[in-house]
Amino acid sequence: MPCLSCFHHRLGPPVTPHVHAYCMDDGPPLQRGSHILCPHCRAWHPVVIGHLEGIPYTQAMMYWVCRGGRYYAGQRSQMSRHPTRLPVRGAMRVVSGA
């Protein structure tokens, strides 16, 4: 089903039903530690808070890093335009081979 928040879909019904990759109405809201599906490399990256000082709006800005670039993911507690998922518990655990 096409999303209703996208300007393109509000212009009228599309000729063929489709969903834009940037219209993500599903998935959890962004929070520190969430992962975002990168449109550049198609890998999952953790999102981080970008600003520790400033007005509340800038303090809620979240970013991810890919290939040396920093990209805007969205606002904390809001939906992202890219697929998101909550952090996987225990995924970063190192298992010793001894």
pLDDT digits (tens, 9 = 90+) for 25-39: 557 889 888 999 999
| Residue in the structure block whose two tokens are 């992962």 | 35
Q: Which among 7-11, 23-27, 37-41 has the top mean pLDDT? A: 37-41
Instruction: Name the pTM for this structure.
Output: 0.62
- Whats the size of the chain, residue-wise? 98
Question: What type of residue is 50?
Answer: G
Bridge partners (DSSP) listed for residue 60:
none
- pLDDT of 50: 86
